[in-house]
Amino acid sequence: MSDETPDLNLRPNGPLYKYLPLGHGDDDHRQRMAWLTDLVTHGKVWLSSPLDFNDPFDSYPSPEEPQSRLKWEFETKKMLRRLASLLPPEMAREAALNFPRYTRAQLSALLKQAARATTAELGVYCLTESPDSPTMWAHYADNGRGVCVRFRLEQEPISHLHAVVKVHYTDERPRIPLMSAGENGDEVYNALRTKATHWRYEQEWRCIMAAGAHKTMLVHPVVIDSIIFGFNCPADHREEIKQMVRATGRAFSFFSIRPCDQTFSLILNPEP
């Protein structure tokens, strides 16, 4: 059962953070540094597709099929029109040609494919409330060899990041009626911000943009005001990042994070 009620109007009451790896090998590191430089200097944010995520259920609600064959037949014409906009052009043409001959199982598979194709086009930018999660440093910042960037959204002029929503964690997988694919905007939106409870430790917020997958959006660079170096971040990478930030002439803070000697926690310390 769900143990929290989603609130679409909820705003973050403190900074949010983005964990980033710095790459392995010269070419990978140069590319990662270029992305970090674009983020810090120009506010250029790279949006992922849900298909890139490590959670196979992320942004993929459970399709709910009607039990009545009569209902299937009644909805076929509406579905065909929606499929034309949801599916890639070649698949849509094939669906239109063969639609009258599709069995219920074939139609169900086609609609699920259409829903997945639509989800793949979404652009998502994920942030977290927690800069000191050992698990996230391991998963998203290359086992502490990367960095964590702080966003102060209260300093941001109105932009896309003002649309960040808090992820809702629940034991109940979202369900969407398969027959109304493409019509139920609110249900789809809620599904995009719902994850299983075992991801709760991520304390995630996300910005979602239609047709934004693998594209960039701009935020005001002023919202990015500090970088935390991971506990395994190499000294030369730290110095390279500090030089890049200082070249902007902006006030900026640096921190390092290290394992505590007494507990299973990470300690944040200022760094010159």
Evaluate whether residue 89 is within a structural domain: no
**Does the pLDDT of residue 51 top 80, yes or no?**
yes
Q: Where do we find the tokens 């304390």? A: 203
pLDDT for 231-260, tens place per residue? 999 999 999 999 999 999 998 999 999 999
Query: Which value, to the nearest 10 degrees, does the dihedral of the CA atoms of residues 97, 119, 162, 257 take?
Result: -160
Reported confidence tier of residue 2, pLDDT bands at 50, 70, 90: very low
With a CB cutoff of 8 Å and minimum separation 6, the contacts of 184 are 176, 177
Q: Find the distance separating the first CA and the last CA of the chain, reported in whole Å.
A: 48
pTM equals 0.86
Three-class DSSP category at 38: helix
Evaluate whether residue 98 is within a structural domain: no
Closest C-alpha to 139, from 15, 230, 29, 267: 230
The predicted pLDDT at position 40 comes to 96
Closest C-alpha to 124, from 180, 58, 66, 68: 58
Evaluate whether residue 101 is within a structural domain: no
Evaluate whether residue 179 is within a structural domain: yes
What residues form DSSP beta bridges with 266?
259
Number of domains in the chain: 1
Identify the domain containing residue 152 by its residue range: 16-58+122-271
Evaluate whether residue 78 is within a structural domain: no
The predicted pLDDT at position 60 comes to 82
